[in-house]
Chains A and B, each alone.
Chain A
Amino acid sequence: MALVGRSVPRPDGPAKVTGRARFVDDVTRPGTLVGATLRSTVARGRLRGIVKDPSFDWTGLTVVTAENVPANVVALIEEDQPVLASDDVRHAGEPLALVAGEDALRVQRALQHLRADVEPLPPVLTVADALQHTAQIYGSDNVFRTVRIAKGDAAAAIAACPVQLSGTYATPYQEHVYLEPQGVLAFWDEGGGAHVLSSCQCPYYIHKGVKRTFGLTDERVDVTQAVTGGGFGGKEEYPTILALHALLLARASGRPVKMVYDRKEDIEATTKRHPSTVTVTSGCDRDGTLRAVSIRIVLDGGAYVTLSPVVLSRGALHAAGAYRWEHVSIEAQAVATNTPPNGAFRGFGAPQTIWAIERHMDRIARTLRLDPLALREKNLLRVGDTTPTGQFLKESVGVARCVEEAKKASRWDAKRASLAAPASSGMFRLPPPGVFPARKARGIGASVYMHGAGFTGSGELAHRARIAVDLFADPETGKARFRVRGGSTDIGQGTETVFRQIAAEALWVSMDRVDFATPSTASVPDSGPTVASRTVMVVGGVVEAAARALFARIEGDRQAKGGSFEGAARRLLAAHGIVTVEREYEPPPGLAWDDATYRGDAYPVYGWGCAIAEVEVDLDTFETQVLGLWSAHDVGKAIHPTNCKGQIEGGLLQAIGWALQENLVVRGGRVVNARLTDYVIPTILDAPRFTTLLVEDPYSRGPGGGAKGLGEIPMDGGAPAVAAAVEHATGIVCDRLPLLPEELYALSKETRR
């Protein structure tokens, strides 16, 4: 029976629904201490010292400062970020010192008796200040990186167009709010080996960071992933810092140390989605045929480089959207500010630029009085077209079908015509005194988008994902069993399920005979980080190749010596004890990318999508409720349809939250609403009814018959569809997120004019 394509019950499900699944805070070791962090309250300054209050009883407490850190750098793209600040303080919330002790309350008290002596300096808090050089905080120009993409001559082509339009679009921070906050348990063994149990996406990132900071060799560092309660990018790079902190305290105290952030600290200290400002200038014909576009992107990177250069790159590569342009010019910059470093968040720069291009498409449609989806359909990329980097799209471009199916399911044409179009006057007049039924307007809006699957450019080649599949004897029954080993983590998205499906299918065995090894750097090969919509498509492909090779080995033995498959497997086990096949990623032939010029195949293939939102806006309170969300996504091949839908609906709701309610307030470089009471994410009552359609236009190199990346793409399309629907309902054009009631109210007064 075919496993791929079936929504089998997820094997990690029973442990999760019974409370047996062990998250890091559910695990302890004898003698474990609790660790906590002293953080900067100023956005920029010079640290003169950490002073322990002599009147406080420090017995049994361990304090660690920068001078206890062997190599005080967090190994990531650049080594600009210290593990603990030693001299320069570059953002509020920056870790300055650590404390560990047996009792959590006493550790908290101790933090209050540690004084950071910081000489404040004038901070650079906005991108505008950074670019105007009010102070120099990074390099010579406060710019982490600039990316340029050019195709043809955009400026000249726009100037020659009969319709030229320009708009500026902005997006705010977004906090991940994985339900399980960040946490780690760390200890040292007697031989000086470091052990880390972490809620994380990328055990090998932590492995690299620990090796660097403590000067250890590969085999002396063991990083194991605990059951992880969501990540969405937030547990990509940050867990490395947390692991280093716990290891420092464990080394100084000689005890295991657990650090689990509470929600407030998690929101204040960890990474966020980069705020963005994007200006789009386009040229097109009067019939809506797109010709040329020029785009300028600025991201607020925060105080350290972290992953900003690659977030910027992905943002730039998605900025022209799912459309054909003959001429493109994109300039993108990630800028340093004295605010907590921003980092990976589902979509990785693309939601910001897709927001801009999709709002701009609505601007064109509005100006030319065209149906917004008809305008999009007219200009969609097809097989045979080239992208802004000159990538020739040779297969798996299912975007037209996505639009068609979402349109049909949502009854777009009928609703577009019949839903309340805004009255030209009187709509926003304040109601007379008294109690009246709510005045509400409905509207429908759409967005179309793509998302490059896998690492950008040569990234997959550089990482060369490795996976091992073992044949081993079941210790109880002696029967042949199989096991997939790799560093790819299941953070809720279903890696374990899908890898077991893919391997079982390739091995021609039932899924319950295939195990998924807990990702631990001591026992699994490095299949790369669990990011970039790459796990199923790229790593899953390696799982499939390794499992097929193992099958071929057993089947070869069977054909040579006869008997059953099980018999052959047992013969091999008797001869070798355990049989392991390891495979690594083989890049598709002919893929070419030039990092210097940003020309070539930016991604091996793209996922495509169309989201259509129907909203109801209360015309007195300006609250927006999303009533329905119809989407169609080209996933290549749905290996587990229920998981696919779960990913899409979850991603779309994160986008709806970003669009309508999530509003992180940062003042003086500090997050002031670091609680779920006032940083509000959607509840089940805020969530629309989803109609989730899967389109399968297979990718020739995708596993299971053509699967493509899917994790991030739903985050790209939700916000612009909601804004377009609000515009249809009310006539209010909002180009800046979030669409809070007060923002819509303010804009309504302009609209009335």
Chain B
Amino acid sequence: MNVLFFLNGRAATVDAPPAARLLDVLRGPLGLTGTKEGCGEGECGSCTVLLDGAPVNACLVLFGQVEGRSVTTVEGLGDPEHLSPLQEAFVKEGGSQCGACTPGFLLSAEALLSTIPQPGETDIREALAGNLCRCTGYQRIVEAVRAAAKERTSREPG
């Protein structure tokens, strides 16, 4: 079935079963392998993408559900030559070690900063509570989000 939706800011039509997992459509026919599968049951958050701006686990979303809606994956945040403030902060502050959980964290953090531009530590921890990381102990991730929030504010015109 052809499904029309908006992927990383552009209209996209993909022919895939509506009952397929969004995760598999992204990683398969669309070739967007930045979205990772860590558990397949919505526990680890590695496959977090934004659906109309809100973080969801792509392993729990059926492809048919995205019709007419907007999906943002890590590939939509920035490329290696033009990193977003969050991406840059994750590199600089040590928020990413092995990298398997990183795309999911970035999208959850992106959603947070779009609603709370200057989050406190509790805001950050609550917004990221659905993403598991086994490498960092999370502290460097908190620091990265904090640094990105600061940077985003200073980048904004006026």
Contact with A along B32-62 (1 / 0, CB 8 A): 1111111111011010000000000000000
Q: A19-B33, A263-B40, A650-B134 are in contact. Are A683 and B98 (CB under 8 A)?
A: no
Shortest Cβ gap from A700 to chain B (Å): 28
Give complex CA distance A294, B120 in Å.
50
- Are B90 and A676 within 8 A (Cβ)? no
Instruction: Let me know if B128 is at the binding interface, CB within 8 A.
Output: yes
Partner pick for A650 among B78, B97, B125, CB 8 A cutoff: B97
- Nearest A residue to B38 via CB reads A179
Give complex CA distance A19, B46 in Å: 12
CA distance A111 to B37 in the complex (A): 22
Nearest chain A CB to B129 CB, angstrom units: 5
Is the Cβ of A18 less than 8 Å from the Cβ of B87?
yes
The answer to whether B91 has its CB under 8 Å from any CB of chain A is yes
Q: Is B9 an interface residue (CB 8 A)?
A: no
**CB–CB A494/B132 < 8 A:** no
Q: Looking at the assembled complex, report how far the CB atom of B38 sits from the nearest CB atom of chain A, in whole angstroms.
A: 5
Checking A20, A179, A653, A654 against B46 with a beta-carbon cut-off of 8 angstroms, the contacting residue is A179
On chain B, the residues within 8 Å of A646 by CB distance are 94, 97, 135-137, 140
Q: Give the docked Cα–Cα distance between A26 and B47 (Å).
A: 13
Say how far A330's CB is from chain B's closest CB, in angstroms: 32
Which stretch from A227-235, A601-609, A725-733 is at the chain B interface?
A227-235
CB pair A17–B87 under 8 Å, yes or no, is yes
CB neighbours (8 Å) of A676 from chain B are 38-39, 41, 43-44, 132
Q: Given the complex, which residues of A lie within 8 Å of B10, measured CB to CB?
A: none
Within 8 A of A (CB), among B51-81: 73-75, 77-80
A494–B96 Cα distance when bound, in Å, is 10
Interface string of A173-216 (1 = CB under 8 A from B): 00011111100000000000000000000000000000000000
Question: Within 8 Å CB of B80, what residues of A?
Answer: 14-15, 18, 20
Q: A653-B138, A676-B39 are in contact. Are A179 and B44 (CB under 8 A)?
A: yes
Nearest A residue (CB) for B33:
A26
Nearest chain A CB to B74's CB is how many angstroms away? Answer: 4
Whether A687 lies near B98 (C-beta < 8 A) is no
* B113 at interface, CB cutoff 8 A: no
Q: Are A179 and B41 in contact (CB under 8 A)?
A: no
Decide if B151 is an interface residue (CB 8 Å cutoff).
no
Most buried by A among B35, B98, B102, B140: B98
Whole-angstrom CA separation of A631 from B96 in the bound complex: 21
Cross-chain contact B137 with A649 (CB below 8 angstroms): yes
- Between A12, A18, A642, the greatest number of chain B beta carbons within 10 A of the residue's beta carbon is seen for A18
Cβ B38 vs Cβ A180 within 8 A: yes
Nearest-CB distance from B20 to chain A (Å)?
Answer: 11
Bound-complex Cα distance A648 to B135 (A): 10
Interface assignment of A22: CB less than 8 Å from any CB of chain B:
yes
Task: Give A214 Cβ to nearest chain B Cβ, in Å.
Answer: 30
Q: A19-B103, A676-B132 are contacts. A13–B139 as well, Cβ < 8 Å?
A: no
- Whole-angstrom distance from the CB of A178 to the nearest CB of chain B? 6
Number of interface residues of A (CB under 8 A): 56
Interface residues as binary, A677-691 with B (CB distance below 8 Å gives 1, 0 otherwise): 100010111010110
Interface string of A474-514 (1 = CB under 8 A from B): 00000000000000000111100000000000000000000
Q: Are B94 and A684 in contact (CB under 8 A)?
A: no
A571 within 8 A of B: no
CA distance A654 to B36 in the complex (A): 22
Measured between beta carbons, the chain B residues less than 8 angstroms from A115 are none
Is B131 a contact of A649 with CB atoms below 8 Å?
no
Given A18-B87, A683-B129, A684-B141, A177-B134 contact (CB < 8 Å): yes
Known: A19-B35, A180-B98, A685-B126. A650 touches B93 (CB 8 A): no
Bound complex: CA A191 to CA B51 (Å): 49
Looking at the assembled complex, report how far the CB atom of B147 sits from the nearest CB atom of chain A, in whole angstroms. Answer: 12
Interface presence of B149 (CB below 8 A) = no
* Residues A690 and B137 in contact in the complex (CB < 8 Å), given A13-B90, A19-B32: yes
Complexed CA–CA distance, A646 and B92 (Å) = 12
- Chain B residue nearest to A180 in the complex (CB): B100
* Chain A positions within 8 Å of B27 at CB level: 26
Complex CA–CA separation, A263 to B132 (angstroms): 14
The B15-35 residues at the A interface (CB cut-off 8 A) are 27, 32-35
Which B residues touch A18, using CB under 8 A? 34, 74-75, 77-80, 83, 87
CB distance from A104 to the nearest CB of B (A): 10
Cα A22 to Cα B103 with chains together (Å): 13
List residues of chain A with CB within 8 A of the CB of B75.
18-19
| A266 to B, closest residue via Cβ | B39
Which residues of chain B are near A494, meaning CB under 8 Å? Answer: 97
Closest chain-A Cβ to B33's Cβ sits at a distance in Å of 4
Q: Which of A12, A179, A493, A643 has the most CB of B within 10 A?
A: A179
| A684 & B131 in contact (Cβ 8 Å cutoff) | yes
Q: Closest residue of chain B to A654, judged by CB?
A: B134
Q: Is A16 close to B, CB under 8 A?
A: yes
**Does the CB pair A687–B137 fall under 8 Å?**
yes
Q: What residue in chain A is nearest B73 (Cβ atoms)?
A: A19
| Interface residue? B101 (CB, 8 A) | yes
Partner of B96, one of A17, A651, A653, A690: A17
Residues on the A chain within 8 Å of B133, using CB: 179, 684
From 82 to 124 in chain B, residues with beta carbon under 8 angstroms from any chain A beta carbon are 83, 87-88, 90-94, 96-103, 106
Task: Report the minimum CB–CB distance from B55 to chain A (whole Å).
Answer: 14
Contact present for B43 and A675 (CB under 8 Å): yes
Question: Is residue B7 within 8 Å, beta carbon to beta carbon, of the partner chain?
Answer: no
When the two chains form their complex, are residues B38 and A19 in contact, meaning their CB atoms are under 8 A apart? no
Q: Which residues of B contact A229 (CB under 8 A)?
A: 36, 98-101
Scoring B37, B79, B135 by chain A CB atoms within 10 A of each residue's CB, the highest score goes to B135
Considering the chains assembled together, what is the distance between the CA atoms of A492 and B94 in angstroms?
A: 10
In the complex, chain B residues whose CB is within 8 Å of the CB of A263? 38-41, 44
Tell me which residues across on chain A come within 8 A of B141, comparing CB atoms.
684
Inter-subunit contact B36/A179 (CB<8 Å): yes
A562 at the interface (CB under 8 A from B): no
Query: In the assembly, what is the distance between CA of A653 and CA of B88, in Å?
Result: 25
Q: Is the CB of B33 within 8 A of A492?
A: no
Complex Cα spacing A181 to B91, Å: 23
Cβ–Cβ < 8 Å partners of B73 in chain A: 19
With an 8 A cutoff between CB atoms, is A92 at the interface? no
In whole angstroms, how far apart are the Cα atoms of A21 and B96 in the complex? 12
> Bound state CA distance, A230 and B134, in angstroms?
8
Cα of A705 to Cα of B80 in the assembled complex, Å: 33
Q: Which residues of B contact A642 (CB under 8 A)?
A: 93-94, 140
A23 proximal to B (CB < 8 A): yes
Bound state CA distance, A642 and B88, in angstroms?
Answer: 15
C-alpha gap A263/B100 in the complex (Å):
14
Shortest distance between the CB of A133 and any CB in chain B (Å): 39
- Chain B residues with Cβ below 8 Å from A684 are 125, 128-129, 131, 133, 138, 141-142
Which residues of chain A have C-beta atoms less than 8 A from B77's C-beta? 17-18
Chain B residue nearest to A16 in the complex (CB): B99
CA distance A19 to B102 in the complex (A): 8
Of all chain B residues, the one with the shortest Cβ separation from A179 is B100
Evaluate contact between A23 and B40: CB separation under 8 angstroms.
no
Contacts beyond the supplied A230-B135, A649-B139: 7 A-B pairs with Cβ under 8 Å: A17-B74, A18-B78, A18-B79, A19-B33, A181-B38, A642-B94, A649-B138
- Closest CB pairs A-B (n = 3): A19-B34, A492-B98, A229-B100
24 of the cross-chain contacts (CB-CB < 8 Å) are A12-B99, A15-B80, A16-B99, A17-B74, A17-B77, A17-B96, A17-B106, A18-B77, A19-B73, A20-B34, A20-B79, A177-B132, A179-B101, A179-B135, A230-B97, A263-B41, A263-B44, A649-B136, A650-B134, A653-B138, A676-B44, A684-B125, A684-B128, A687-B139
- Using a CB–CB cutoff of 8 Å, the interface residues on chain B facing chain A are 27, 32-41, 43-44, 46, 73-75, 77-80, 83, 87-88, 90-94, 96-103, 106, 125-126, 128-142
